[in-house]
């Protein structure tokens, strides 16, 4: 479930009440159990606080967010397209990324619990994760009948198959099935069934933007098998590319698109497809 609120300059206690936390924030325990969306006015952008984030305090201004994170706790804030600027970190560990069309800051609190300011900039994050096509080479001699995998395609699994769990094996199988379909289509051969979904169990959990789990990874494998997500994007992270895939699947099933939520209607459709 995703909460959304138009927030101006509010201190964490007010935000705590909005989240149903009673308005009293003990040290280190303003906890966001679900993904929470806040709307800044200058610039006019939406930011998402990831589920399971924790903070000692949170102040939402018109154009930035100030957060204090206790030692060992983690706070994650995201944007669907903006790059972030982070200031004020001294003891905290901060990861600031801007890839795949998404900006993300992950703060792991340090010993000082200092207040850190996170500001979305005017810079956007690139969405094209694939490299550009290389220049055409000279005329080749007699060609081989083999098919060459496209640049960026990973054939080998991320770890030995003997060490994989069942969900990881299912995900790997879905990735290879989608890759096989691509290669066979490129070679002019018979295409592998693009909608051979890999489902050994029903989807029973609602999934939302910002979640990271094996269940998300299994859902991504399903989206890959249905042709809505490119092979290799079964990362277990529910971010922009996965949201786009969920939205495309919802549209294909005549479900009103809510790409940030793999909810009951979408789960029911996926489970029906898995039973075919």
Comparing 1 with 108, the larger pLDDT belongs to: 108
Stretch 104-122: mean pLDDT, rounded?
92
| Of 59, 61, 73, residue with least CA distance to 29 | 73
For residue 130, give both structure tokens. 């694939």
Stretch 74-82: mean pLDDT, rounded?
90
Task: Give one DSSP letter per residue of 88-136, joined into a string.
Answer: --SSSEEEEEEETTEEEEEEE--SS--EEEEEEEEEEPP---SPPPPPP
The arrangement of secondary structure in 194-274, i.e. its CATH architecture, is: Orthogonal Bundle (1.10)
* Window from 49-63, 192-206, 212-226, 234-248 with minimum mean pLDDT: 192-206
pLDDT at 160: 72
Stretch 150-160: mean pLDDT, rounded?
54
pLDDT at 89: 92
Report residue 22's pLDDT band, with 50, 70 and 90 as the boundaries: very low
* Window from 105-119, 127-141, 203-217 with minimum mean pLDDT: 127-141
pLDDT at 159: 65
Report residue 24's pLDDT band, with 50, 70 and 90 as the boundaries: very low
Does position 153 have pLDDT exceeding 70, yes or no?
no
| d(C-alpha 126, C-alpha 100), whole Å | 6
Report residue 189's pLDDT band, with 50, 70 and 90 as the boundaries: low
Sequence ranges of the domains in the chain: 30-124, 194-274
pLDDT tens digits for range 193-227: 444 445 656 888 899 998 888 888 889 888 888 88
| d(C-alpha 249, C-alpha 258), whole Å | 10
Does position 107 have pLDDT exceeding 90, yes or no?
yes
34-35-39-43 Cα dihedral, nearest 10 degrees: 150
| Of 72, 89, 90, 78, residue with least CA distance to 27 | 72
The arrangement of secondary structure in 30-124, i.e. its CATH architecture, is: Sandwich (2.60)
DSSP 8-state class, residue 238: -
Stretch 106-134: mean pLDDT, rounded?
80
| d(C-alpha 180, C-alpha 167), whole Å | 20
pLDDT at 32: 82
pLDDT at 139: 47
If one counts every other C-beta atom within 10 angstroms of the C-beta of residue 121, the result is 13
Mean of per-residue pLDDT scores for the chain: 74
**C-alpha distances out from residue 107 to 62, 65, 110, 180, 185, Å:** 21, 13, 9, 39, 44
To 10 degrees, what angle do helices 166-186 and 214-225 make?
20
Comparing 76 with 100, the larger pLDDT belongs to: 76
Report residue 145's pLDDT band, with 50, 70 and 90 as the boundaries: very low
pLDDT tens digits for range 168-185: 666 666 667 666 666 666
Whether the CB-CB separation of 202 and 222 falls below 8 Å is answered with no
């Amino acid at each position: 479930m995703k909460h959304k609120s138009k927030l101006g300059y509010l201190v964490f206690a007010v935000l705590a009440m909005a989240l149903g936390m009673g308005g009293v924030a003990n040290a280190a325990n303003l906890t966001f159990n679900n993904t929470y969306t806040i709307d800044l006015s200058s610039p006019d952008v939406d930011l998402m606080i990831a589920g399971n984030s924790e903070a000692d305090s949170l102040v939402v201004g018109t154009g930035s967010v100030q957060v204090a994170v206790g030692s060992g706790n983690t706070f994650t804030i995201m944007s669907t397209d903006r790059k972030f600027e982070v200031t004020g970190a001294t003891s905290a560990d901060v990861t600031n990324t801007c890839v795949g069309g998404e900006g993300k800051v992950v703060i792991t609190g340090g010993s000082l619990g200092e207040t850190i300011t996170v500001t979305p900039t005017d810079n956007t994050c690139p969405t094209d994760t694939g490299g550009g096509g290389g220049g055409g080479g000279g005329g080749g001699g007699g060609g081989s009948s083999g098919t060459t995998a496209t640049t960026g395609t990973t054939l080998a699994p991320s770890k030995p198959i003997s060490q994989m769990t069942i969900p990881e094996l299912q995900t790997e199988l879905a990735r290879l099935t989608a890759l096989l379909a691509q290669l066979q289509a490129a070679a002019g051969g018979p295409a592998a069934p693009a909608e051979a979904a890999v489902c050994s169990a029903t989807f029973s959990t609602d999934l939302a933007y910002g979640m990271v789990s094996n269940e998300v990874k299994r859902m991504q494998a399903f989206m890959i098998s249905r042709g809505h997500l490119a092979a290799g994007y079964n990362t277990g992270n529910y971010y922009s590319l996965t949201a786009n895939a969920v939205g495309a699947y919802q549209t294909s099933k005549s479900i009103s698109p809510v790409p940030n939520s793999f909810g009951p209607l979408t789960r029911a459709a996926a489970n029906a497809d898995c039973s075919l």
